[in-house]
Amino acid sequence: MNLNIYLADRTCQHVHEQVGTRSSFRDNMFHVGPRGEIPVYNGYEIRFEDEGKVIKLIVERESAGVEGLLGGLGDLKVDGHYQDVVTSAYAEKSERDVEKTGEIKMEKVIVVTARMSGKDNRAGRTNSRDKIFFAVYHTIVRPVLRAAYEAP
């Protein structure tokens, strides 16, 4: 069960539900793009990589780079409500090949990782997509959205 697109769609749906009808997003913010990317605040884009025992949130920014975001994240902590799904989370700067408009180039990104709690199945995690979404959202996505909103 690969959750890349599910997590992206569910994140956008959740954000739209939280802000309600009193707000609208410009520039297709919080809409899933063709590569599974989600444009968020201040030119940042996020996308998910489901690797089974870990789920990674890749944070990219085309123009100004991602360096300012890492300091805004602080220490990522797993709330007690979600410790049965996610055991730990951390963020690090990395370089990756990123494809944009048919061109692949090396870019600096932030990789925010949530390590999933071990379960007795092949993926090593719970099978409940909703439990995974809420644990991942509150542990790694929400802190990234806050940091991106406050970033210069």
Length, in residues, of the chain = 152
Quickly tell me which residue has 């951390």 as its tokens: 90
Quick: pLDDT tens for 31-51: 999 889 999 988 889 999 999
Give the pLDDT of residue 135: 94
Of 96, 98, 44, which Cα lies nearest the Cα of 73? 44
How far, CA to CA in Å, does 115 sit from each of 7, 11, 15, 122, 129? 15, 19, 23, 15, 15
Q: Does the global pTM surpass 0.75? A: yes
- pLDDT of 4 higher than 70: yes
Give the pLDDT of residue 101: 63
Q: pLDDT tier at 65 (50, 70, 90 boundaries)?
A: confident
User: H or E element: which one contains 107?
Assistant: strand 103-116
Q: Which two tokens stand for residue 25?
A: 């997003």
Quickly tell me which residue has 């989600």 as its tokens: 38
Q: pLDDT tier at 103 (50, 70, 90 boundaries)?
A: confident
Quickly tell me which residue has 């995690």 as its tokens: 125
CB atoms within 10 A of CB 2: 12
Q: Answer positive or negative: Cα dihedral of 86, 126, 142, 47.
A: positive
Identify the residue with better confidence: 152 or 91: 91
